[in-house]
Structure 1
Amino acid sequence: MTPPATRVFFAGGGTGGHLYPGLAIARALVRQAPHVEPHFIGARRGIERDVLPTTEFGYTLLDLHPLYRQAPWRNWRTIVGAVGAWRAISTLAAPSTPRAVIGTGGYAAGVALAWGRAHGVPTMLHEPDSHPGLTTRTFAKGAKTLFLGFPEAESRLTAGGNTQVMPLGCPIEPPPATPRSRAEARRLWGLPEQAFVVLVVGGSQGARALNEVVAAWTQQGLPEGVAVIWATGKQQAAAYLDREADMVRVRPYLAPIADAYAAADLAVTRAGAMTIAELCAWGIPALLVPLPSAAQDHQTHNAQAIQASGAARYVPQRDFTVASLDATVRSLQDDRSALATMHQAALTRARPGAAAEIAKSVIMTLGLDAVGIG
């Protein structure tokens, strides 16, 4: 007999780092417990506005706002939006109370978590970063479970006496069971098999600071034997597409990115939690240049944590120059032992099965019927 449908609310968004983990967990949850019906609650002004309509899940977008720390007089919008959102969530839950509210961070999660807490619905949190955000810090104490992307985050949280803390990693699309060989991936990119391949990725929107340095670096002349796969970001692509050359491949965006990962010796990226999780899963040494304006400087904390593990080198944006990039690439190109050590350290941090493990924990904690757990 098929179990009755079980509703689970997912709340989070504003940025991809708070939305995509929720989607990965929801999909793993449905694979293991097909009767579960995830429903996403997000903000009308966040990335979820564009992403959720393309998914298989039900969703509700609300007039949610962050706390305006630099312009506190605008917080009336936050208060009014929260009141309206509370009513909307109550209406949404009226036909069937959810079994849990799973928050994945960001301002879009707070009201739903508060609603769940007030109505006796178990709340669970996933925190992707090493420095927990405001939402996680606020709701950690009463949560049923805290899922952490970085184990370092636990020391910055006050969990409740009955809260499970599980550093299971960030839910990502894991590498394929049999990825392309490095040689095959490089043939696909039209690059020499023996090249030292540097992958530069600044996210879907790109990172202007990274792009400007890489553009100047390629113009000055790459070190002998070095090749670059460079994702500029869609909005910045027009300014850099003409930099394509024998040893330089320029793309607006890499989707899927697997063949670029398979070809890379070194990645130069921002330090978002999801990016780091993917690099570790692929065992790719990295040069991490955190976004200085990231909330609570969380990317710097991420980069420092991964550097401490030996998997990456952290470079503040102010120090990321053509000279420093060129020197780092040359040193690693000539020191394959150091590169191998970083590779192994990255794999040690990797949790490619995080989504499945988190879903399994949710199912067991809530006592749901499941199939295919493993």
Structure 2
Amino acid sequence: MAYRILLSGGGTGGHLVPALNLAAALRRAAPEVQVMLVGARRGIESQILPDLDWPYRLLPLEPLYRSRPWRNWRLLASAPSVLGGLSRAFSDLDPQLVVGTGGYASGPAVAWGVARGVATAIQEQNAMPGLVTRALAPRVDQVHLGYPEARARIRAGRSTEVFELGNPVALGPVTRPFDWPEGRTVLVFGGSQGARKLNELLLAGLPQVPAWPADATVVWVAGPANFDEVAARVGDTDSSTEIRVVPFIPELGGQLGRVSLAVCRSGAMTCAELTAAGVPAILVPLPTAAGDHQRFNARAMVSAGAAMMREEDSVSGRDLWTDMVSLLGDAGGLAHMADASRQRGRPDAADRIAAELIDLAGRSEGASDG
């Protein structure tokens, strides 16, 4: 059967990446599947989707400005164009299933599917579900949770199937392997939204690093925009810490098995990749994340024994370096955290979610045929 599935999500990488990973998993599960991706013109997907081989539509979708409500006139102004674009997308694909991966770019398509009686599903990445998930969970056919802690924070419909299968990470063969150092590796990376502040904290604390283990190297992913500054300041600092600064690492998720400890933000997909590889972490949640979802993610990781959490507003760079040295010096404790991370991981989540989505699409087609 040639399944027809519309995937909506984007705005940020945290919502676009799950959609892309699910699209790939759907194709693995059913090579004949027809997938259309729907996202926002203003989102990161406008830079990424044109270079991929998936059919897509970019609509003038706008976020909901909860802290600046006077800007929500844009939602009303764009509504006719959004509705027209959705109507054309649904007419062209005639989907059996609409899947949303959260964020403002996903809500209208899922709501449109519900209104038209099309089977619908949501994949929620975070421990604290977003507004779209909380609003639509009572009305969709399936909800797929990345964190089991999220179940208590949604109100699903009586007939809604709720799954706790993890977040869909891509862990396929690595085509561009990074030249990892010998010995133990501490990976520092901030993510697209949080790199600058985390970089600043660690740079400020670098001159005060306690005795660094001789067998450990820091691989510091500074981000392309911050690379020159971070590399220069690290080079100018008198420190015994072995550090390699790089702008980015392609296909990082598939190479995390080489990492002994990570220092990073607590975005849902970052945590999913860490746990899929069994990497313990020091997590510094992004305090401006919507709904404070990164703090909820970090707390879940800490409760599982897979991480420790530091608050950006109260931690110093010296604190973070001291934490790294302390964990590296406690082989038993670090191994316990790695085991807890691995137990939390769901490396097969994308394929398991795809199987449930294919089943739902098939049931939907059968119901419509009947």
TM-score norm. by structure 1 comes to 0.90
2:212 and 2:241 in contact (8 A); partners too: no
Number of the residue aligned with 1:340:
335
1:199 and 1:260 in contact (8 A); partners too: no
Q: CA RMSD in A?
A: 2.1
- Of 144-153 and 217-226, deviating more is 217-226
Letter in 2 for 1:294: A
Give the Cα–Cα distance (whole angstroms) in 1 for the partners of residues 18 and 181 of structure 2.
33
Number of the residue aligned with 1:197:
185
Letter in 1 for 2:264: T
Question: Which of 275, 280, 286 lines up with 1:280 in the alignment?
Answer: 275
1:268 and 1:286 in contact (8 A); partners too: yes
**5 Å matches for 1:97-246?**
97-174=94-171, 188-191=179-182, 193=183, 196-204=184-192, 207-221=195-209, 223-225=211-213, 226-242=216-232, 243=234
Give the Cα–Cα distance (whole angstroms) in 2 for the partners of residues 175 and 265 of structure 1.
20
Q: Deviations over 1:162-197 (max 9, x none)?
A: 1110011111112759xx9xxxx8xx4344x2xx43
- Of 79-88 and 354-363, deviating more is 79-88
Stretches of structure 2 lacking an aligned partner (at least 5 in a row):
365-370
Number of the residue aligned with 2:300:
305
Asked whether 1:266 is paired with 2:256, we answer no
Number of the residue aligned with 2:354:
359
Letter in 1 for 2:198: L
Q: Deviations over 1:264-322 (max 9, x none)?
A: 21100000000000110111110000000000100000000110000000111123212
1:130 and 1:149 in contact (8 A); partners too: yes
Give the Cα–Cα distance (whole angstroms) in 2 for the partners of residues 350 and 138 of structure 1.
28
Shift of residue 204 of structure 1?
A: 3.8
Q: How many residues align?
A: 355
Number of the residue aligned with 1:51:
48
- Of 119-128 and 29-38, deviating more is 29-38
Number of the residue aligned with 2:30:
33
1:7 and 1:98 in contact (8 A); partners too: yes
2:202 and 2:321 in contact (8 A); partners too: no
Give the Cα–Cα distance (whole angstroms) in 2 for the partners of residues 306 and 352 of structure 1.
16
2:257 and 2:278 in contact (8 A); partners too: no
Give the Cα–Cα distance (whole angstroms) in 2 for the partners of residues 270 and 39 of structure 1.
31
- Of 345-354 and 203-212, deviating more is 203-212
Give the Cα–Cα distance (whole angstroms) in 2 for the partners of residues 144 and 364 of structure 1.
12
Q: Which runs of 4+ in 1 moved over 4 A?
A: none
Letter in 1 for 2:60: D
SS in 1 for 2:139: coil
- Of 199-208 and 27-36, deviating more is 199-208
Give the Cα–Cα distance (whole angstroms) in 2 for the partners of residues 332 and 175 of structure 1.
30
Percent of pairs identical after alignment? 43
Shift of residue 6 of structure 1?
A: 3.1
Give the Cα–Cα distance (whole angstroms) in 1 for the partners of residues 70 and 16 of structure 2.
28
Q: Deviations over 1:49-88 (max 9, x none)?
A: 1111121111111111011222222212112223321121
TM-score norm. by structure 2 comes to 0.90
SS in 2 for 1:261: helix
Letter in 1 for 2:150: A
2:120 and 2:142 in contact (8 A); partners too: yes
- Of 291-300 and 257-266, deviating more is 257-266
SS in 2 for 1:8: strand
1:101 and 1:122 in contact (8 A); partners too: yes
